[in-house]
Structure formats: structure tokens, C-alpha cells
Amino acid sequence: MRTIHLLCFVLFAGLWLCGSVAAQAPATAKPAPKPLFRDPVHDGAADPAVIWNPHEKKWFMFYTNRRANLTNLTGVSWVHGTRIGIAESEDLGTTWRYRGTADIPVGEGAFSHWAPEVVAHDGLFHMFLTFVPGMHTDWSGTRELVHLTSTNLLRWKKESVLSLASDRVIDACVLRLDDGSWRLWYNNEPDQKSICYAESPDLYHWTDRGKVIGDRAGEGPKVFRWKGRYWMVVDNWQGLGVYYSTDAVHWTRQAASLLDRPGQGEDDQVKGGHADVVVSNDRAFLFYFTHPGRRGTDERRDGYEQRRSSILAVELELNDGILGCDRDQPAFIRLVPPEPQAAARSNTRAFLFSYFTGNGEDGLHLAWSSDGYRWEALNGGKSYLHPRVGESKLMRDPCLLQGPEGRFHLVWTTSWNGRTIGYAHSTNLTDWSEQKAIPVMHHEPAALNCWAPEIAWDESNQQYLIFWATTITNRFLETAGRSEGKYNHRVYATTTTDFEAFTPTRLFFDPGFNVIDATLLPAKGQYHLVFKDETVNPPKKHLRLASGSRAEGPFGPLSPPFTRDWVEGPTWLKLEDGYVVYFDCYRDHKYGAVRSKDLERWEDVSDRLVMPAGLRHGTALEVDPLLVQRLLDGKAAQ
């Protein structure tokens, strides 16, 4: 009888133990290999940064690609001349393969890219990169932190160089706080390798706040939030020092370090260095690198085995308030993709209307609506952006578009008579880039004007399409004299992917008469160009549309007029009850609108509109309700 009881106990204990182990490793069918990844080009992968790529449905790992296998390089020049490598995982982080190098347009001649930090925000990816100009055989030279952005994690655009504590700063780490602001930690090398920090409201404008960690020299800070605390791990070259905080400003060092004792796995029998941490479904995974050959009697040698490095991973544990890990336990990695930002949005829709008042002297105004009919001015009716560029420094006909990367792009008329259009961009509609005047018609000395530029995203060609109305003297003589004065417009266009380089301007739309104020409405599998017939002799001054299969045209045939005469500045929204086209009834000093479900039969709905006083030609667009809420909460323009 005692034997039966003992057997039952053993069976029960075994089942309980198996269940416990299974509960700790539900993520994948197999543990992550050791090493997790080695770079196949130079075998020098270090400083990993892991992020989800929602476009490709893969996890990406960015890393410093040290030239470990070039053993003829003297001193530490093998650590320089580096690019940022990319590895990818299709199985939630368990296995990784080489993807290539990041296209980063920073540096000429000899230079180094180190320690990438990558975060996602509002559909745009931000990288904070250590840039080292020149080639060095020692640890001399300047270092700076560069801010870049990307829509796809592959091709990057330089935004700025951060102004921080010194000209030798490295190893950025960026985290968003609960109030929506951002904090950046970095290593200030001249100050005994201390850790400093800076703050930003939007990832673009940073204020340095000075030293935050200085008890021990270190580099590669990584800050993350887990289990109700902020944690920071720092590479002290004797493993990773651990700090914790409740406010991410005041830090306490934990007595025990991470990875200070060698493990037993392949390439893991040395101390671990510069790490990233990914928190996923309340689990936390530490990605770190090692120099596998730096052990035993060969530790001080400088050969290929000592230079090469590998990426490994371990799951973090929190026991009695102490952060730890067991690198000899198998790591069952499961990096769950983060929830799409759209999933957090309210079911309530929100719309913005960009517009100008008067003659456009004071710049960009915004109004908002939840139904597309009743609009309320934001910022107390004050301007969000004052014009600074162009022949007359006006901001008329502001066209606002949110691109696929999440950034807002704005183009506008800068003058009644000129050959430029204005451009600026923003991520939050309160902080704007430097304005610039794009000389879209400078190649045409006889061009009189550039009116009402519009911007659209061409999904098929992955580019922005910009188009506007221009009169060129002695062009299209067959319709000369049919409009006011010397004007005889046609619509012209250019394209761009980065708002730095533009394709040559071309004729975009010529319906055979004077035409202005075009806008593009995609619907029913086609692109519909809504425009104003500017003919005054005989009077037209109404809206028509023409359709095409591609955003770049051609468009036709032409529809009959679908509005009253003497209107201009069309823009549109797709609402629950159909497509609504808004227009400026400029003679009556008010706005009008028509509605259609099929873009053929139209109903006037002007009597439903409630618009801010003085609203003139602009653009309607749907936006995230949270953005409108932030604007309503008082995050107004300066």
C-alpha cells in the first residue's frame, strides 16, 4: 500500500513538473540556438536593436557590423569603417538570417556607423545612430548622434544631428514616457563615460538634461519598462550593470549584474555586452553580444577569434525585486508583434480642414469635425504655421496630406505671381520643419504663377504627386482671352519620394480650356480629378471631374458640371452617407458642399455646413481622433 502511495506521488510530481516547465516555455517548439546570429560578411555583429517590421510581418535586428575577419587591419580600425547590418526573423525571434545593410545616407569618404537605436511612432520609424567621421586606429575622433527616419526600415533619411553634452557622444537609447514625451539616454565619453539624457516632445527637438548615471563608467544604456519599474542596463565591460527607477530620472543601482559570469553554451562562455531588451506579453528578452575568443590564455590576443562577435539572447527574470537571468537555460523566444496603433483608436471618426483666411498673410489654420458637416476652428482660430518663404511670403490654398509614413506634408500658394510653391512637414501639426520654396516653374521664364498646389500619395509608384495651376504666356493661344486678364491656366505636376529631389515638371492636365484648383479623389478603383472650369467668357466657374486608371493620368472624359457657378477650391471626404465635395463660394463669402454615392448623381448639402468664419480654400482629411484630442487639449502652436 505504501508502494502505491509513493508511486502515485512520484507520478503526480512528475506531471506537475512537466506542466510547470511547459508553462515556462509555451512560446515555440524549440529553443533559440546559441549563438542566435552571426554576421556572414564580417562576423562582427554587435550592439543589437530589435524592432517589429509591420510591412513585412517580420522582426528586424539592426546591429553594428564590425570588420572582424579583416585581420590585416591595425589597431582598432576593424571596429571602424562599419555599416549597420540587418537580420530578420519570421518565427517570432527564434531564428535569424542575414538581410543586408541599412541604406543610411550619412557620411562621405571614411566613416563609421555604430550602435543603432530604432523606435516606431505614428507610422514612421526613427533611428538614432552613432556616427564617427574618418578612419581611426585608436579610440580618438569625434562622435555624434544622428536622427534618421524611414517608412520601411530599409532606406533612411537624415533629419538632424543632436546637440548634446559634447562632441564625443555614443550609444543612444530612446523611450516614450506615459505623458507622450520622449527621453533619450546616451554615453558622454569625455565625462568618464557617464550616462546622460535628453528630452523631446516629438523626437525631433531635443533638450539636453545632463548626467544621470556616473557611479561607474559604462556605455550602451538600454532603458525599458517592466513589472512596474523603469530598468536600465549598462555595459560596464564586466557584464551589464542594472539600475531601476520609478520616474526614469532618479536611478538606484542593483547589487547584482547581468552576464558577468560566463555561460556554458556555444559562443556564450565569456561576459556579455551592449544589449537590447524587448518586452513582449509581460515577458522580457535580453539580446546581447559576446566576443567568444576572449577567454582563457587567449583572452588578450588580437586575432580573428578575439575580434569576432556573436548575438545571443536570454529571458529576464524578476525574483524578489532583483532583475536576473540564467543564460544556460534554453530561451524559448516569442516576440509577439505589437498591436497596430490603429487598434487603440476610438470608434469615433475625426476630420481636419486646413485653410487660410484673408489673403493668407498669417498662414495655416485648422478646423476639426466629427461628422464632416459641423466644423470648429482649432487653436482659438489662430495660425499654426506662419509663412516664411516664397515671392510674397503668403500661405494660400494650404493642402495637407498625411503620408503612409505618418508624417503630415503641407504645400501652399506662396504668391499671386511667382514660380514657387511652399512646403513643410510635421508629425503633430504643432511643430513644423523648416519651410522651403520649391521652384517648380523656374525653368519657364514666361510662367506667371503657381496656384493651389495639391499633394497626393501615388500608391502604385510609391511616390508623392504634386500638381498645381500655372499660366505660361503665349501658351495655349486657342483659349486666350476666355478668362480674367492675362490668365490661361493648365495643370502641371512633379513627383518626389523625399521632398528633396523632384522629377522635371510636366503638363499634367489640359482639358482644352482654362482650368485651376484640381484635386484627386480615388474611388471605385479609379482616380477622379475634380477641377474648376475657370472659363469666364462665357461664364463657367464651376466644378467638373475627369477619371483615369492611374494617379498620374491621363484623365477623361469630362463630366458635366456638378456644382453651381462661381465656386472654387474643391476638397472632399468619404463619409457614411457618400462622397462629399466641399468648395469655396468666394463671391458669397461662404462654403458649399455636394454629396454623391456614385460620383454621377449629386445632391447639394450646403445647408448642413457649419464652418469657421473666414474659412477659405483648403483641404479636408480624416485623421486619428487622438491627434485631434491632443490639439483640443491645448497642445497648440507657438
**Three-point CA angle 467, 531, 476, nearest 5°:** 75
| 55 or 22, higher pLDDT | 55
Which tens digits make up the pLDDT trace of 558-590?
A: 999 999 999 999 999 999 889 999 999 999 999
Domain region containing 329: 28-341
| 511 or 122, higher pLDDT | 511
Which helix or strand (DSSP H or E) is residue 625 part of? Answer: helix 625-632
Residues 564 and 424 in one domain: yes
Residues 315 and 354 in one domain: no
Residue 15 placed within a domain: no
Residues 416 and 337 in one domain: no
Q: Distance (Å, rounded) from C-alpha 334 to C-alpha 313?
A: 12
Which tens digits make up the pLDDT trace of 549-559?
A: 999 999 999 99
Residues 240 and 352 in one domain: no
Q: Distance (Å, rounded) from C-alpha 388 to C-alpha 386?
A: 6
Residues 333 and 372 in one domain: no
Q: Is the pLDDT of residue 271 over 80?
A: yes
Residues 203 and 138 in one domain: yes
Residue 20 placed within a domain: no
Q: Distance (Å, rounded) from C-alpha 628 to C-alpha 350?
A: 7
- Assign 22 a pLDDT band (cuts: 50, 70, 90): very low
Which pLDDT score, from 0 to 100, does residue 626 have? 85
Q: Is the pLDDT of residue 342 over 50?
A: no
Which tens digits make up the pLDDT trace of 401-413?
A: 999 888 999 999 9
Which tens digits make up the pLDDT trace of 293-322?
A: 999 898 889 999 999 999 999 999 999 999
DSSP-derived secondary structure for 283-336: EEEEEEEE-TT-SGGGTT--SHHHH-BEEEEEEEEEETTEEEE-TTS------P
Residue 425 placed within a domain: yes
Residues 413 and 334 in one domain: no
Global pTM reads: 0.56
Residues of the chain above pLDDT 70, percent: 93
Contacts 24+ apart (CB under 8 A), 37-42: 37/61, 37/87, 37/96, 37/310, 37/311, 38/267, 38/308, 38/310, 38/311, 39/63, 39/65, 39/85, 39/87, 39/98, 40/98, 41/65, 41/85, 41/98, 42/66, 42/67, 42/68, 42/69, 42/70
- Write out the three cell numbers for 1: 500500500
Name the DSSP letter for residue 7.
Answer: H
- Assign 538 a pLDDT band (cuts: 50, 70, 90): confident
What are the phi and psi torsion angles at 258 (to 5°)?
-110, 145
Which tens digits make up the pLDDT trace of 42-78?
A: 999 999 999 999 989 999 999 999 999 999 999 999 9
Of the listed ranges 61-65, 170-174, 208-212, 536-540, the least confidently predicted one is: 536-540
| 348 or 565, higher pLDDT | 565
Q: What is the CA radius of gyration of the chain?
A: 30
Q: How many domains does the chain have?
A: 2
Residues 302 and 412 in one domain: no
Which pLDDT score, from 0 to 100, does residue 340 have? 62
- Assign 189 a pLDDT band (cuts: 50, 70, 90): very high
CATH, residue 136 = 2.115.10.20
Which tens digits make up the pLDDT trace of 75-112?
A: 999 999 999 999 999 999 999 999 999 999 999 999 99
Name the DSSP letter for residue 538.
Answer: T
Residues 44 and 57 in one domain: yes
Full strand arrangement of the beta sheet holding 182-188: 169-176, 182-188, 194-200, 207-213
- Assign 24 a pLDDT band (cuts: 50, 70, 90): very low
